[in-house]
Amino acid sequence: MTSPEPNRYARLVGVLYVVLFVLGPLVFLGGKGAVLVPDDAAATAANVRALGDGYRTGMGIEAVIFLIEVLLSGLLYVMFRGVNVAIAFSASLARFGEAVLQGANLLTSALVLGAVSGGALDAFAPAQRDALLHLFQQANGAMILVWGLFFGLHVLLLAWLVYRSTFLPRWIGVLLFVAGAGYLAQSFGVLLVPAWAPLLDTVVVATAVPGELAFTLWLLVKGAGPRVAARASRHGGGLQLDHELGFEQPLHTQ
């Protein structure tokens, strides 16, 4: 008898990806993600003040995003542990690390709001507060590049798992490999050569969207398929922790 759980997880993963597709651009491509003006503290501060409560709303959206990322780190592990438990566990750790950094990055956003409202910083001149706000917003952007490294690694490992699985088409794995390479290229490239940011922002959109969109639509429409349910029923239920961590021989069907 096969378990329906993996297919249910697959569709839930698809739904969560759709939510990320909707929420992500609201924060990272617009709103609070677009307030930074390089080398111009006054303009950055003016953008934050003009955004008003929208900045705090963006923080709320980011909180929802990193909570979804935590869920996905576990759900994707359950889906793909039957392919290779070590790689699935590594992919889960990478995604969970990304989520932790996303949550920690809310601190830099809170510091930006603190610089706007004054309070403890009232002792500083307005230009000095603007400079601090600019620094905090720059730190926020740098942290995004750092968690992007974790996410790029996750997508590369996920690509391998999809390619080696028997329940998703290999071409989706290839597209996800291109997506993961794009994420890593963006984060490494901008960290090392900030002037490349506009080009790499375009590259990551072109490389990431096809793979992640195909992965999402396949899970929503097709699910994980009956073969993953059969595999999971052999790996689930009564497995002990030592088996989960790889002491059991991994299942290979190819």
User: Taking 50 as the threshold, does the pLDDT of residue 113 lie above it?
Assistant: yes
pLDDT at residue 27 in the model: 82
Range of the domain at 50: 5-247
Average pLDDT over residues 142-171: 94
pLDDT at residue 35 in the model: 87
Task: Note whether residue 254 is domain-resident.
Answer: no
Q: How many domains does the chain have?
A: 1
Task: Note whether residue 69 is domain-resident.
Answer: yes
Cβ-in-10-Å burial (0-12, 13-18, 19+) of 225 comes to middle
Average pLDDT over residues 47-56: 87
Task: Note whether residue 74 is domain-resident.
Answer: yes
Average pLDDT over residues 105-119: 85
Average pLDDT over residues 76-88: 93
- Helix 126-164 vs helix 197-221: crossing angle, to nearest 10: 50
Task: Note whether residue 243 is domain-resident.
Answer: yes
pLDDT at residue 34 in the model: 81
CA triplet 77, 243, 85: central angle to 5 degrees? 35
